[in-house]
A = this chain, B = another copy of it.
């Protein structure tokens, strides 16, 4: 009852029945699950028929029939794609949007129901984030994104909050050398966000300078995604981007209150060097030649 595998299997049993309950509530709308799934895929923004078929793992004959049944119900309409008349696009009609909203309400109610039972919802959510990240690990994508976009701003907010918790003296961005967003856009640098199924779970910035090197800044991995070696993936991607931009020398600063970061740098070919800036927060400085 206590070995790791039994604990995972207990977890499996628990979530299987919770997931089954959602399916049952979907059936309550009087439509087979297959059709409901297609409708929801379209509602969530997928419109290319082949893509939906692929996403849901359906045979093309079955897919075609499900689309027809949704069309007969007046919930969707399909059109040939303009650039390739063999392919079809599906979109919701007004009635379809209403029906999709009803499914969304069921999903939201189920999610709410789980949270409402629990007096420590934040702990429950953190556990769910952790598991979702672990299970979709291979589907985490690293994307170059605007350092001032919504995803980047979210990551940076979490990053600063965590520094505030971990530094004895707290952390105030305005006292740190806040890199100009321009320095983290191509061609001077870049900003990479790790996304797991819509949720940003990590980031890193590559900041161009005029001193013959570029700096790695703002490396952050969400607590829920720790243990997945995402930090290393982010660093690898940044180094690749730097090489691509013709950068030959990288530097970074960090703090000994973040031991896991220091360990990562040391184990991936970074060399400790003397202080190279006057930022008040860092006390460790590294360099790596590409």
A125 touching B16 in the complex, CB below 8 Å, given contacts A118-B227, A228-B117, A228-B118: no
Stretch at the interface among A104-112, A165-173, A184-192: A104-112
Contact yes or no, B111 A5, CB < 8 A:
yes
A85 at the A/B interface (Cβ < 8 Å)? no
Q: CA of A155 to CA of B107 in the docked complex: distance in angstroms?
A: 36
Closest to A24 in B: B57
Contact yes or no, A131 B120, CB < 8 A:
no
Nearest Cβ on chain B to A198's Cβ, whole angstroms: 5
Which single member of B107, B131, B196 contacts A128 (CB below 8 Å)? B131
Interface of A is mostly: helix
Closest to A115 in B: B4
Nearest Cβ on chain B to A156's Cβ, whole angstroms: 14
Which single member of B14, B110, B134 contacts A132 (CB below 8 Å)? B14
Q: CA of A94 to CA of B154 in the docked complex: distance in angstroms?
A: 58
Copies in the complex: 2
Contact yes or no, A130 B127, CB < 8 A:
yes
Which single member of B4, B19, B120 contacts A121 (CB below 8 Å)? B4
A199 at the A/B interface (Cβ < 8 Å)? yes
Contact yes or no, A7 B117, CB < 8 A:
no
Which A residues between 219 and 238 are near B, CB-CB below 8 angstroms? Answer: 226-229
Closest to A7 in B: B125
A161 at the A/B interface (Cβ < 8 Å)? no
- Lowest 9 A-B CB distances belong to which pairs? A120-B227, A8-B111, A127-B127, A11-B128, A14-B132, A14-B135, A127-B130, A5-B111, A119-B227
